[in-house]
Structure 1
Amino acid sequence: MVEKKRVRTHEDLEVYQRAFEAAMAIFELSKRFPLEERYSLTDQIRRCSRSVCANLAEAWRKRRYKAAFVAKLSDSEAEAAEVQVWLKFAVKCGYLELNTGRELYGTYNHILGSLVKMINQPEQWLL
């Protein structure tokens, strides 16, 4: 029997860990984006990828209140979907290779799936 890892902080959540790793990958990849994208695509994709993690942290601290918890998870979900849009732009503009974009897009599909599951079944996470 596999023992389930106890979640003590938001950083223990698998979805948080996956989102953090993806945000760091995006940060590294976006360093190669053209300078003219610094205040648009580069800034946007970095902000929303990091915001997925930040909103998860906020949701974790609001577990006393179901509505607040779900609202922050919903914000995180929206940010993850936004990352996918920016990834498509980055690929279409030639800043990311197609396979890299697809891999990251798939990672965000998994993140979105985890967030939706938490939103649909919040009781197991509430205090």
Structure 2
Amino acid sequence: MIKSFADLDIYQLSYQLSIDIFKLTKSFPAEEKYSLTSQVVRSTRAICANIAEGFGRRVYKAELKKFLVYAIGSLEETRVWLSFAKDCDYINEQQYRDFTNKTNEIGAKIFKLYSNWK
């Protein structure tokens, strides 16, 4: 039974993505601290934060859906920053594919929750 946002599979996946990205960025160059590193960490944190906030407002169907849309937007932003990281050689092709697969899974689950929420 789902009692809190933390019980949602989609929250758990997006939270883990956020943690994984945070750890990954520890290896980014220092000059990226206030640009790429900050952007990708903030965008991944926004995914799970928006899911949690939307769940907290779930009594109003439109509110939950609005925050799921925000989560999808942050997910897409994360994908852009990961592309930058790959193209700047901060992550390798395999890491990029692994993160792309995770973002694809999360995006599909957010969309499913959005579509099925009554």
Matches within 5 A, 1:79-118: 79-118=74-113
Q: After TM superposition, where is structure 1 displaced by more than 2 Å over at least 4 residues in a row?
A: none
Deviations 1:69-111 (A, max 9, x none): 1000100111011111111110110001110111011101110
Q: Which residue of structure 2 aligns with residue 30 of structure 1?
A: 25
- RMSD of aligned residue pairs (Cα, Å): 0.7
Extract unaligned runs of 5+ from structure 2.
none
Please report how far the alpha carbon of residue 118 of structure 1 lies from its aligned counterpart in structure 2 after TM superposition.
1.2
User: CA–CA distance in 2 between the matches of 1:109 and 1:78?
Assistant: 13
Q: Which residue of structure 2 aligns with residue 3 of structure 1?
A: none
Q: Which residue of structure 1 aligns with residue 6 of structure 2?
A: 11
User: CA–CA distance in 2 between the matches of 1:26 and 1:116?
Assistant: 22
Which one has a bigger Cα radius of gyration? 1
Residue 22 of structure 2 is aligned to residue 41 of structure 1: no
Residue 115 of structure 2 is aligned to residue 120 of structure 1: yes
Please report how far the alpha carbon of residue 59 of structure 1 lies from its aligned counterpart in structure 2 after TM superposition.
0.6
Amino acid at match of 2:37: T
**Matched pairs, number:** 118
Please report how far the alpha carbon of residue 7 of structure 1 lies from its aligned counterpart in structure 2 after TM superposition.
1.3
Give the TM-score taking structure 2 as reference length.
0.97
Residue 26 of structure 2 is aligned to residue 60 of structure 1: no
Give the TM-score taking structure 1 as reference length.
0.90
Percent identity, please: 35
Q: Secondary structure at the match of 1:39?
A: coil
Q: Secondary structure at the match of 2:35?
A: helix
